[in-house]
């Protein structure tokens, strides 16, 4: 190995300027490893200095461990975060919060894995205390895959992710989803609102439970409530034809060792996923990965038998198999190695309301079971699902996307527009198109799963889930106009939404302002298509909420459009009363995160942020939440601190009186809520009020006498300055005398 001295010439720039890392050539393979260690160490150091709890430092610090992966990437992979953390914004506090939100959004779009277990497996798992069967057992563990997950993107470079997750769903539930969705279209939003209120109630019960995160961050970057809101929003959209995030990427087919005819059962289960009533609707791509699991009962069955069976499975079904060893008896708290099952983070609003999220309700598992499940999920994700997705993306990119990108593809989309000719040139690519010129099924409002449009959308979604945002955004960009031509409005909206989102998530692209405008335009289109053309409020709200959060995390002038989108949400009336207040807080947070340009004094939006915080406080108070109101008030005071003079008085009298009244009301309500005897409170409040007023008068007089000083250039000042000073002086003398 080389000495550290050899490696130092690889100076910090690789990690500071995105382009340089790319030059890391494979010929320098042995050196590279060493140098990344150095850089990463530096990086980690810098990170830990800048922010006390860096969420991502672990990722970068441990990067060299995966020395098996192509090396050029490991330098590059750390680049975007460093670039943003070191000089993206002068405020470290903001960085933490926005990274958090980004990670939340990224994890919101994770691969879905359907679970289809045989009866005997479900019985085994139900005995362990999981009423929902095998699916419910896996679900909490899927949300974070242990260890790092390494994903290769379309250009062959790979990157490790700490926070990768998958979502397990019940295969039986997947088919049903569309039906329940049509019955009540706006119900998800109402449910979200209800969940928020419920959460608020419980937070109020344990007084001030929602306050600490705000205080710690210094910025209201992410209150726990708005995170909950976002999470609910991201998990409330069921599988739909126009986007494939809810469609299964893989399905786990499970049997247990108790099964009498294991191979036949597996075949039968597989068959049921393809035909029969368990078959997924026509808009779901059928070629998803099947993964076979044998659940071995440690207590009742013989492991040698199971191993034999497992070997047989591998011979019959290929490599996508796993032997999961579980104990069949139920675990209770008092057992030696009992571990509580982690809390499900991504519960849909319905589940939240039915109480599935209660911490005390979650069952316990044996430690050995937990580690078995964790390693199973890791193996499933890392060795099967992700390679499968990478493979599909590569194949589709090659077969469908490149054709669409090429001359003939352009001609195809053009000929579609001028529908008179070119139907013959289309058939080569279109495949299943009938006499009708478009692949869009206007009767059922979806593209069949094997049409190029549907495949491209699926490919883009796959790329998105693999966090290859560059490929994703270029693919969405390619297809979004096609959907418009076909008048497939929901697809149209979805592609625009995701194109903008992936553009914003892509850390390397998008420095120019032009891009920002086009992103705004895309959100606008998406929102219009969702709301006006499809009247799909849930998706529209999701789209706008993502716009707000991602634009905010961009910083700079993007924060202003973020605030604008948040106001749009309120304007459209997409959210209920609690949501309305939350979005007010978001507006305040957006404005607060806008920082002055360079060293200049202007460019910040402190007054605007303060105003919105005050309004939010007012609304919290009206909603009967004085704790939250006082938090908002404090926030507002902090924001206004820079703008106001040393006395902290507002120059405008009506503003001042409004804020004074608000403060007083919050104080009274707060004390009342805490159960203080408020009979004498109003008196105390009044005295406080009068004190403030008298102070205000004093200060105002004082202020006025200072008024002319900053504007000495004015001719008027020179004229009036003369008579004033003598006038003030005698007054002082009088008082002294």
Which residues lie near another protein (CB under 8 A)? 564, 567-568, 570-571, 600-608, 610-611, 614-615, 643, 645, 650-655, 657-658, 703-704, 706-708, 710-711, 713-717, 719-721, 723-724
Phi, psi of 290 (to 5 degrees): -105, 135
For the bound state, the minimum distance from the C-beta of residue 714 to another protein, rounded and expressed in Å, comes to: 3
Residue reference for tokens 């605007």: 608
For the bound state, the minimum distance from the C-beta of residue 527 to another protein, rounded and expressed in Å, comes to: 14
User: Do residues 189 and 575 make contact, with C-beta atoms less than 8 angstroms apart?
Assistant: yes
- Nearer to another protein among residue 142 and residue 555 (C-beta): 555
Query: How far are the Cα atoms of 110, 295, 334 from residue 298, in angstroms, in the given order?
Result: 32, 9, 20
- Please calculate the CA angle 526-529-532 and round it to the nearest 5 degrees: 135
For the bound state, the minimum distance from the C-beta of residue 703 to another protein, rounded and expressed in Å, comes to: 7
For the bound state, the minimum distance from the C-beta of residue 255 to another protein, rounded and expressed in Å, comes to: 58
Q: Which two tokens stand for residue 264?
A: 């036949």
Helix (H, G, I), strand (E, B) or coil at 251: strand
Contacts of 601 (CB under 8 A, 6+ apart): none
Residue reference for tokens 């699916």: 135
- Nearer to another protein among residue 68 and residue 646 (C-beta): 646
- Nearer to another protein among residue 311 and residue 725 (C-beta): 725
Cross-strand bridge partners of residue 331: 364
Helix (H, G, I), strand (E, B) or coil at 510: coil
- Nearer to another protein among residue 156 and residue 603 (C-beta): 603
Residue reference for tokens 């099964």: 259
Q: CA–CA separation, 62 vs 227, rounded Å?
A: 28
Across 120-135, b (16+ Cβ under 10 Å) vs e yields bbbebbbebbbebbbb
Task: Give the count of alpha carbons within 13 A of 500, CB side only.
Answer: 29
User: Do residues 274 and 282 make contact, with C-beta atoms less than 8 angstroms apart?
Assistant: no
- Nearer to another protein among residue 508 and residue 643 (C-beta): 643
- Nearer to another protein among residue 276 and residue 710 (C-beta): 710
For the bound state, the minimum distance from the C-beta of residue 697 to another protein, rounded and expressed in Å, comes to: 14
- Nearer to another protein among residue 58 and residue 655 (C-beta): 655
- Nearer to another protein among residue 138 and residue 584 (C-beta): 584
For the bound state, the minimum distance from the C-beta of residue 531 to another protein, rounded and expressed in Å, comes to: 16
For the bound state, the minimum distance from the C-beta of residue 218 to another protein, rounded and expressed in Å, comes to: 20
Helix (H) or strand (E) holding 441: strand 440-441
Q: CA–CA separation, 255 vs 244, rounded Å?
A: 27
- Nearer to another protein among residue 19 and residue 603 (C-beta): 603
Query: How far are the Cα atoms of 56, 113, 197, 689 from residue 166, in angstroms, in the given order?
Result: 20, 7, 28, 55
Q: CA–CA separation, 677 vs 656, rounded Å?
A: 28
- Nearer to another protein among residue 155 and residue 646 (C-beta): 646
For the bound state, the minimum distance from the C-beta of residue 226 to another protein, rounded and expressed in Å, comes to: 19
For the bound state, the minimum distance from the C-beta of residue 652 to another protein, rounded and expressed in Å, comes to: 4
User: Do residues 412 and 478 make contact, with C-beta atoms less than 8 angstroms apart?
Assistant: no
For the bound state, the minimum distance from the C-beta of residue 553 to another protein, rounded and expressed in Å, comes to: 21
């Amino acid at each position: 190995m080389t000495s550290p001295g050899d490696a130092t010439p690889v100076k910090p720039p690789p990690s500071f300027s995105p382009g340089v890392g790319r030059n890391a050539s494979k010929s320098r393979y042995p050196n590279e490893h060493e140098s990344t260690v150095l850089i990463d160490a530096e990086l980690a150091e810098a990170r830990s200095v800048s922010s006390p709890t860096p969420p991502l430092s672990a990722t970068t610090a441990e990067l060299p461990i995966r020395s098996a992966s192509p090396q050029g990437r490991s330098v590059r992979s750390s680049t975007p975060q460093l670039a943003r953390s070191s000089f993206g914004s002068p405020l470290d506090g903001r960085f933490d919060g926005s990274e958090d939100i980004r990670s939340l959004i990224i994890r919101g779009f994770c691969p879905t894995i359907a679970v289809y277990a045989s009866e005997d497996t479900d019985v085994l798992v139900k005995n362990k205390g999981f009423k929902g069967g095998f699916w419910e057992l896996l679900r909490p563990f899927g949300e974070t895959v242990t260890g790092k997950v390494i994903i290769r993107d379309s250009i062959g470079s790979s990157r490790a992710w700490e926070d990768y997750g998958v979502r397990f769903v019940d295969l039986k539930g997947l088919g049903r989803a569309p039906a329940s969705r049509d019955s009540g279209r706006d119900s998800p939003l109402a449910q979200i609102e209800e969940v928020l209120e419920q959460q608020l109630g419980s937070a109020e019960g344990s007084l001030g439970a929602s306050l600490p995160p705000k205080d710690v961050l210094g910025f209201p970057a992410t209150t726990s409530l708005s995170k909950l809101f976002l999470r609910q929003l991201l998990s409330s959209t069921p599988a739909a034809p126009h986007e494939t995030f809810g469609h299964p990427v893989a399905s786990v087919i499970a049997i247990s060792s108790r099964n009498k005819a294991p191979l036949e059962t597996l075949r039968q289960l597989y068959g049921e996923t393809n035909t029969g009533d368990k078959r997924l609707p026509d808009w779901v791509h059928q070629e998803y990965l099947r993964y076979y699991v044998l659940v071995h009962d440690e207590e009742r069955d013989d492991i040698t038998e199971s191993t034999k069976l497992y070997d047989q499975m591998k011979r019959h079904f290929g490599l996508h198999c796993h032997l999961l060893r579980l104990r069949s008896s139920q675990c209770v708290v008092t057992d030696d190695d009992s571990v509580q099952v982690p809390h499900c983070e991504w519960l849909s609003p319905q589940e939240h309301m039915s109480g599935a999220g209660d911490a005390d309700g979650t069952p316990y598992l044996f430690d050995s079971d937990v580690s078995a499940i964790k390693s199973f999920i890791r193996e499933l994700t890392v060795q099967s699902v992700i390679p499968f997705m990478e493979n599909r993306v590569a194949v589709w990119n090659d077969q469908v996307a490149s054709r669409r990108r090429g001359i003939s593809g352009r001609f195809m989309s053009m000929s579609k527009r001028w529908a008179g000719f070119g139907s013959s040139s289309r058939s080569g690519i279109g495949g299943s198109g009938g006499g009708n010129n478009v692949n869009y099924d206007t009767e059922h409002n979806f593209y069949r799963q094997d049409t190029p449009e549907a495949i491209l959308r699926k490919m883009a979604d796959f790329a998105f889930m693999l966090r290859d945002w560059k490929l994703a955004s270029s693919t969405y960009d390619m297809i979004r106009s096609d959907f418009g031509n076909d008048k497939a409005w929901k697809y149209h909206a979805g592609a625009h939404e995701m194109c903008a989102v992936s553009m914003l998530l892509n850390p390397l692209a998008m420095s120019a302002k032009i891009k920002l405008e086009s992103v705004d335009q895309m959100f606008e289109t998406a929102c219009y298509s969702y709301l006006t053309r499809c009247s799909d409020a849930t998706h529209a709200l999701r789209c706008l909420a993502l716009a707000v959060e991602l634009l905010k995390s961009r910083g700079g002038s993007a924060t202003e459009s973020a605030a604008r989108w948040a106001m749009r949400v309120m304007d459209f009336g997409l959210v209920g009363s609690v949501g309305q207040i939350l979005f007010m807080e978001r507006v305040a947070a957006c404005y607060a995160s806008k920082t002055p340009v360079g060293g200049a004094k202007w460019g910040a939006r402190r007054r605007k942020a303060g105003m919105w915080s005050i309004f939010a406080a007012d609304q919290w108070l009206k909603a009967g939440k004085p704790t939250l109101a006082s938090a908002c008030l404090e926030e507002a005071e902090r924001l206004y601190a820079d703008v106001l003079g040393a006395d902290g008085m507002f120059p405008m009298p009506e503003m001042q009186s409004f804020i004074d009244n608000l403060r007083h009301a919050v104080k009274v309500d707060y004390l009342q809520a805490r159960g203080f005897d408020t009979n004498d409170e109003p008196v105390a409040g009044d005295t406080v009020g009068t004190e403030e007023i008298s102070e205000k008068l004093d200060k105002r007089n004082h202020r006025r006498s200072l008024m002319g000083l900053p504007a000495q250039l004015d001719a008027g000042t020179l004229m009036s300055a003369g008579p004033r000073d003598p006038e003030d002086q005698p007054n002082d003398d009088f008082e002294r005398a």
